């Protein structure tokens, strides 16, 4: 089900290009509308299954983390610029996810995952460039955002691993986050939703890049380790860069193209199935545990 995670990342990667279709809209308002619509769709789709979910306290905390991540991301970007804020927030997510998974599930990350993740983060950094001011407060907020992302991803994986339907888990998390973000949407203004282009963009962002994307992500978490899923999600900036070239007429520098190649190669390594130990490896493992 790693393909489902990559599919989610592809949808996330289209959000930036879609958001540019509405000019002059506060990015926070756009993100709030996306989360409110997507969370509502996920909650309605989950239906009665929401009532029987285990670990409700954990899911409530995860819902708050989903909403807080959005606010941290935009606060970091406003202080450090898009490039640095995105790299720190999105790039730190897989690292925090691996560490939290190790801490909570006692499953240490593999060397292959650690190496490929490091290369993927480096590829993201080169791909997005170095524009912006490396302000300490912005970087710290971006790191908090990465930690929040890791927390709600690990929380979702834990509840899904306990046997809960992945769609219901995502419905609970994002439905709760939609309730939190609704006042933010009303505060930042909704006039732009009255225009056809604004409404269609918000519906796409909510239904496709949030609801459908997290349905796919949840299905991927059924069989994919959450640390691996977080690294595969780094396909998002690669898709965004390619869409910028294909749709917006942007140009990739030689360095950015190199970063894209690094990112693609590392994600391919992570996507490969893990090697199963041969007969000698299994015998050695049994003997060492005896």
15-61, pLDDT tens digit by residue? Answer: 988 988 887 899 999 999 999 999 999 999 999 999 999 999 999 99
Return the number of other C-beta atoms located less than 10 Å from residue 131's C-beta: 10
Does the residue 89 lie in any domain? Answer: yes
- Domains held by the chain: number: 1
Does the residue 47 lie in any domain? Answer: yes
Q: Which structural domain range is residue 56 located in?
A: 2-21+28-272
Nearest to 66 by CA among 211, 165, 189: 211
Does the residue 279 lie in any domain? Answer: no
Angle separating helix axes 213-221 and 166-188, nearest 10 degrees: 140
Cα–Cα dist 228/233, whole Å:
9
Residues 6+ positions from 95 with CB-CB distance below 8 Å: 117, 121, 146, 150
CA angle 119, 121, 125 (to 5 degrees): 115
Q: Do 125 and 266 meet the contact criterion of CB atoms below 8 Å apart?
A: no
pLDDT, tens digit (0-9, with 9 covering 90-100), for 93-113: 999 999 999 998 887 888 899
Does the residue 288 lie in any domain? Answer: no
pLDDT at 84: 77
Does the residue 42 lie in any domain? Answer: yes
Does the residue 286 lie in any domain? Answer: no
Residues 6+ positions from 262 with CB-CB distance below 8 Å: 119, 120, 122, 123, 126
Does the residue 179 lie in any domain? Answer: yes
Does the residue 165 lie in any domain? Answer: yes
Q: What is the pTM of this model?
A: 0.90
């Amino acid at each position: 089900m790693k393909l489902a995670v990559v599919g989610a990342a592809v949808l996330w990667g289209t959000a930036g290009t879609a958001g540019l279709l509405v000019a002059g809209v506060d990015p926070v308002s756009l993100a709030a509308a996306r989360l409110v619509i997507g969370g509502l769709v996920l909650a309605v789709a989950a239906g009665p299954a929401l009532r029987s979910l285990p670990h409700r306290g954990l899911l409530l905390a995860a819902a708050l983390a989903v909403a807080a991540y959005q606010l941290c991301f935009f606060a970091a970007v406003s202080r450090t610029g898009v490039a640095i804020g995105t790299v720190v927030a999105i790039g730190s997510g897989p690292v925090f996810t691996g560490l939290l998974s190790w801490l909570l599930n006692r499953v240490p990350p593999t060397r292959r995952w650690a190496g490929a993740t490091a290369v993927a983060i480096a590829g993201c950094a080169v791909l997005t460039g170095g524009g912006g001011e490396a302000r300490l407060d912005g970087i710290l907020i971006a790191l908090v955002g990465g930690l929040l992302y890791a927390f709600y991803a690990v929380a979702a994986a834990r509840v899904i691993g306990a046997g809960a339907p992945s769609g219901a888990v995502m419905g609970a998390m994002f439905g709760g986050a939609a309730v939190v973000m609704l006042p933010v949407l009303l505060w930042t203004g909704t006039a732009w939703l009255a225009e056809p282009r604004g409404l269609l963009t918000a519906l796409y962002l909510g239904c496709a890049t949030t609801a459908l994307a997290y349905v796919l992500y949840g299905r991927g978490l059924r069989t994919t380790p959450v640390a691996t899923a977080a690294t595969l999600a780094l396909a998002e900036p690669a898709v965004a860069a390619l869409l910028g070239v294909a749709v917006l007429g942007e140009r990739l520098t030689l360095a950015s193209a190199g970063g894209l190649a690094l990112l693609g190669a590392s994600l391919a390594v992570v996507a490969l199935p893990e090697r199963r130990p041969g007969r000698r490896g299994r015998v050695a493992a049994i003997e060492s545990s005896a």
